[in-house]
Amino acid sequence: MCSIQGRTDARANDAARAVKNGARTQKTKPALLREPRHLDRTRVPSPASTEVRSQPPPSHSQPLPSSLAINALQRRVVGFVLTDLNFKQIYTNDAAISILTFPDSSQPTVSAAAVAQRIRAILNADRFTPGLAAANFVSGKRQYVCRPFLLESRESRTRPPMITLLLERHVRETLPLSEISRQFHLSPRECETVQYLIRGLTTKEVAQHMSVSPNTVKQFVRLIMSKVGVTTRSGIVGKLVSG
């Protein structure tokens, strides 16, 4: 009986030790698997989010063109007119119509006769002739130059020749008023008239600026034409622009 009791006690002691060791293992194991607290609070950024943050925010405002760029764009506006020898238009672009018919260019239709009459007045000729020189003219407040070119067919001599007119902004500067007055012996009031003519003002507008009558302005213009050596208002502008 004593031996049986001893075996039972030994088994009980072994079981108790096993239970006790198991309890210790359960207490220490979670501690070994638990991550440090400072890692739980720190967020590691993903590669995608890092790439997005490194890029600067997109800008919705585009840089405005400088004044030099704007002037270059304006100078590139060129008018083309294809006419016969009598300056009757055959083909033309919108820029040419706008230049030649200003300020009536906003009208839906412009007569071909009006365009031909305007071209003849600019070139001071009713018909194209060899050696016809370019002419300066004013449209609105801008100065232009009209250059005529003769086109002849290389394939068939039976086809009539045509004229190409190139209308472009005049980029040359005018002479200073002091130089104009000295060179052409103009009076102060005549120099003032020239200044308004270069700006493209009409006779009535010049009269309003000078506080005189339109007839007085016409008299100033006639005196200026006589001294400069031209016969038209556009001739005055062209002579002074070319120097």
In the chain, domain spans: 75-169, 177-242
Say what the pLDDT of residue 59 is.
39
Query: For the packed helices 188-198 and 233-242, what is the interaxial angle rounded to 10 degrees?
Result: 90
CATH class of 75-169: alpha beta
The per-residue DSSP string of 102-170 comes to TTGGGSS---HHHHHHHHHHHHT-SS--TTPPPEEEEETTEEEEEEEEEE--SS-TTSPPEEEEEEEE-
Residue pair 169/77 in contact (Cβ under 8 Å)? The answer is yes
Q: Dihedral (C-alpha) 164, 98, 109, 112: value to the nearest 10 degrees?
A: -30
- Name the stretches of the chain with pLDDT < 50: 2, 23, 25, 27-33, 35, 38-42, 44-75
Find the distance separating the first CA and the last CA of the chain, reported in whole Å: 144
Q: Mention every residue, 6+ apart, whose C-beta is less than 8 A from residue 88.
A: 112, 116
Residue pair 148/132 in contact (Cβ under 8 Å)? The answer is yes
Say what the pLDDT of residue 146 is.
94
Residue pair 171/236 in contact (Cβ under 8 Å)? The answer is no
- Provide the whole-model pTM: 0.42
Say what the pLDDT of residue 157 is.
77
- pLDDT tens profile 109-121: 778 888 999 999 9
The answer, yes or no, to whether the previous bond of 45 is cis (omega within 30 of 0) is no
Topology alike, domains 75-169 and 177-242: no
User: Given the DSSP bridges, would you call strands 162-169 and 142-151 parallel, antiparallel or unpaired?
Assistant: antiparallel
Say what the pLDDT of residue 12 is.
60
Which CATH number is associated with domain 177-242?
Answer: 1.10.10.10
Q: What residues are paired with 163 via a beta bridge? A: 83, 150
